[in-house]
Homo-oligomer: A and B are copies of this chain.
């Protein structure tokens, strides 16, 4: 058996000939355009069925100037970062939304310079109809690339270097506030936070939520240590906090990963959770259920994020101007607080 080479598919011309009509008539039938008589439609449809005709995507794309493909670009320095279940969830959401359209998903892990230039090229050569951008830290080069391309663009989470017109994000501020208020309602007062990187909007928003809740309650934000959203980072931050503020009685961690790291350090230090120290995380992407004790956390629906991004992009491509969206978050109570 030889390598499978593409079989030749019938063309529109052949269909038209078989049906005894012109190519334009056949095209009209296929695109369900008006001005087609019953007889013509039937003849063409029969020919299509008999020949197993399917229109060539590329040819159609060239004629219509629409590729039928949208890109999801993920920025990540470290390939491992993509292994975060967060991305898998986004992709599931995006795919679900795309199933209701004729669009397909092109996934771009634009890490290295090479990856970025490939993405730039893809956009400028009109390889896709639109683009979704995820996980942008500080001033990610991807934002510039996307803006220069002049294609419909939707952001998942806001970048820090400018205010995009179209984005979808979880209510980070509200979620953080919710978490902190809950800790306060438990009677805790020496509440510290393990924040995300201040070079990201997510990190800043969740930190602001913590501060606002504390101040609203008449408490002073007790202490902050910055992490990088990872478990290791969370553990390191926890150690710092335990050193500087040994009397802390609650922690709001800006991600479950960091909360998991903190949990470990706390137990190692002999503190019991939640008795001595209450812990609340953020994300609720599976890890939260598996920590010991299971983590009380702020739930965000990442699949919904992907879905809404996609819907928004579809609207943009259709020439509409949908509003940006902020998705609600909610507190999920488990055992750590």
Please give the residue numbers on chain A whose beta carbons come within 8 Å of chain B beta carbons, in ascending order.
Answer: 1-7, 9, 54-59, 61-62, 65, 67-69, 79-80, 82-85, 87-89, 91-92, 95-96, 99, 104-109, 112, 114-115, 118, 121-122, 124-127, 150-153, 165, 286, 292, 303, 316, 319-321
Contact = CB atoms under 8 A, between A and B. Distances in A.
A7 B99 contact: no
Contacts of A107: 91, 95, 105-107
A85 to B, nearest CB: 5
Q: What 6 pairs between A and B have smallest CB-CB spacing?
A: A57-B125, A95-B109, A7-B150, A57-B127, A83-B88, A107-B107
Nearest to A118: B99
Nearest to A1: B165
Contact of A85 (B83, B118, B121, B125): B83
Q: How many copies of the chain does the oligomer comprise?
A: 2
Nearest to A95: B109
Given A9-B124, A165-B1, A91 B109 contact: yes
Contacts of A4: 150-153
A239 B123 CA distance: 54
Contact of A106 (B61, B83, B105, B320): B105
B99 A112 contact: yes
Given A3-B152, A151-B4, A152-B3, A126 B92 contact: no
A109 B92 contact: yes
A10 B61 CA distance: 18
A112 B92 CA distance: 13
